[in-house]
A and B are shown apart, each in its own frame.
Chain A
Amino acid sequence: MSPVIAPPPVRSDLDDVERSRPATSVDGETPFVAPPSFTTINPNRAISDEYRREFVKVSRLSEETLMRQVTLRTAMASLEGLSIEEDATLFAVRPERLVRWIRGEDSIPRSSERRLNQIAELLRLMRHAVPEGHTREWFFLSIPALDDRTPFDVLAAGDVDRVVTLARGYGDPSFA
């Protein structure tokens, strides 16, 4: 019988996920879980050290700092359909800075907290009146109560309270 020459193994990073999957998934049959030479979820030493350093950084963040990050990211989750430039206008920062905040590369300063909380509250209030998927539409809708200006324009001009007050009305039982 002639010897069989097997093709060389090819690394599959998808096995990262296979290893992390709970036992209810397909990985019960170990022979089809790729051999260790295929897997890459175990970071090499350098990556591991890098992760460890970042762990330390994250764990040292104050609760206040973390809360600002959570508020921002939760707000971003609601801003469906808006561009990063438009998002940045709402938060009154440059787009590049907003991206660094989202990624956690820069801390969100206390001075930005008020605006951040106002936009977060606005988005919470909007849930009463604006269906999912229509967020952008609402921001660019001319509204009589805003003198026929759009919420986006009023926010861009810095009059956040006016838009928040408008949105509070959406929670009023008389609003239909």
Chain B
Amino acid sequence: MFERAPLELVLCQVKFDPVFALLSPAGVAGFQEGLRSTYPRAGRGDQASVSMRPGAIEATQQAPIFRFSDEGGDWTVTIAVDFVALETPHYTHFDDFAVRLDRILDVLHRTVHPTDSVRVGLRKVNALEHPSVSGPGDWVGLLNPSLLGSLNERTLSNVTQSMLVELAMRDDQEGTMVVRHGVLPDRANAYRIDIDYFTERPARIERGSELSTVVQEYSTSITEFFQWCLQPSLYDFLGPTDRPERSSS
């Protein structure tokens, strides 16, 4: 963990074949009941959207999305006809996230009983800031040169206004890590590292299943990649706290 944790979002989504009972509140009632004590605030997403194209306006009905949040609004569980997700802008330790996810999968198993997962993804979004940075070129020396690519070239870094790079990597267990990183024009002093690790390998959706292990492993890999991005000076600036080794994002 870091004193100046750059984490903005952690999100885990488990997709499954559609369970059409989840189209109605009656289908979600058990799931909500099972989580009510921890996530008492309930909301529902829009069911319809309007799309416009030249000469046509089209109304499209979409499956409803149900959200349940804790009292503080820090943790949100989302369920729709074909997925469940847990998200938070921050956590003390990933174990807290993992325990919550396990509980959600248990309740989902009992009250919805979906088939095996068709996709599991874990995503962490970080936004790095540093007092010496006012533009993209200032990240040279703070971030891994291999990450920065063209910014290492002085003639380019001096004129670069924004940068967005996407990198996709495949592991040997049918998992894919996609990293989107760069500097946005509307927030030139921040470097965003958005890491999304997912698999379409099926796994049972229940407490303590292989799915939970996969998510733990993805979290570790994401953390390792994030730390690879940091040069020692930036790592120290972030203020690592409770672990002797480089710790999680």
Contacts and interface: CB of A to CB of B under 8 A. Distances in A.
A31 B185 contact: yes
B186 A31 contact: yes
B119 to A, nearest CB: 6
A55 interface: yes
A99 B112 CA distance: 8
Given A17-B78, A31-B185, A79-B110, A51 B23 contact: yes
Nearest to A87: B110
A32 B24 contact: no
A9 interface: yes
A24 B165 CA distance: 25
A7 B121 contact: no
Nearest to B118: A13
Contact of A10 (B9, B123, B166): B166
Given A103-B19, A104-B21, A66 B178 contact: no
A42 interface: yes
A52 B61 CA distance: 8
B123 A102 contact: no
18 contacts: A7-B168, A12-B178, A13-B119, A14-B13, A14-B196, A25-B9, A25-B87, A32-B192, A54-B20, A58-B27, A69-B26, A69-B27, A75-B30, A76-B30, A76-B34, A78-B34, A80-B110, A102-B113
Contacts of A21: 76, 87
Nearest to A79: B110
A57 B20 contact: yes
B184 A77 contact: no
Interface residues of B, number: 65
Contacts of B60: 42, 48
Contacts of A75: 30
A43 B107 CA distance: 27
Contact of B45 (A20, A54, A69, A84): A20
Contact of B168 (A10, A32, A66, A87): A10
B180 interface: yes
Contacts of A58: 20-21, 23-24, 26-27
Interface string B63-105: 1010100000100101011010101010000000000000000
Contacts of A29: 184, 186-187
- List the 3 closest A-B pairs by CB distance, nearest first: A73-B30, A104-B21, A77-B34
B194 interface: yes
A159 interface: no
